[in-house]
Amino acid sequence: IVGCAPITFSNLQSAKLIDKGKFEYTPSFSSSVNTINYGLQTAYGLSEKYNLRLRLERIVINVDFEDDTSSFLKLSDFNFNESLIHLSFGLKFQLLENKWAIYLPISFTKADNGNNVFKQIEPTIIYTSSLGKYFELNPSMKTLIPIDSEYKDLLLAYNIGLGISPNFTQWVFRSEMGFLSTLDLDSIIPHFSIGISIYP
């Protein structure tokens, strides 16, 4: 999967929408198999039912094998290092206030040393459940649909996030875990992410 598809599949948001004319900023860090991501998401309230969201991430892949003298293979020949930039944007709209939302972004991912841009549509459904005054649970699922690519298979991302804050209108600490898989679950990539949403 890593060789054929982008590895940005975390969500790090809730089903809640921000108010018209307001902004949200969410810097984040994600760790996956041989991969780390540094990112920033921002959202703007177009209306009470629609938000415009944008995401920019730096992706660093580092596969580093050490040679084993007992092996007939020189494992270091398989070392791989690559840096990529990921940009996505789209509309998020409310299905049920503060409970259910759908986000419909289009994404573009490009390696520093390549000319090809991997394009996807990533429809995402998000649910939020409040757990008392200071916690919220944010499960989500997205489908990654390639556009104009040799890689035609759909991928699915399943995430579950936890939001923690004494005041959800000012800031929220977010942690999330999940995995990216093929439809038949033949290949799975897990991730763990943290971020903080700020509402100025």
Q: What tens digit of pLDDT does each residue of 28-84 get? A: 999 988 889 999 999 999 999 999 999 999 999 886 655 554 444 444 444 468 889
pLDDT band for position 91 (cuts 50, 70, 90)? very high
In whole angstroms, what separates CA 175 from the centre of its chain? 12
Average pLDDT over residues 111-128: 91
CA distance 7 to 13: 18
- One DSSP character per residue, 112-133 reads TT---EEEEE--EEEE-EEETT
Give the single-character DSSP code of 66.
P
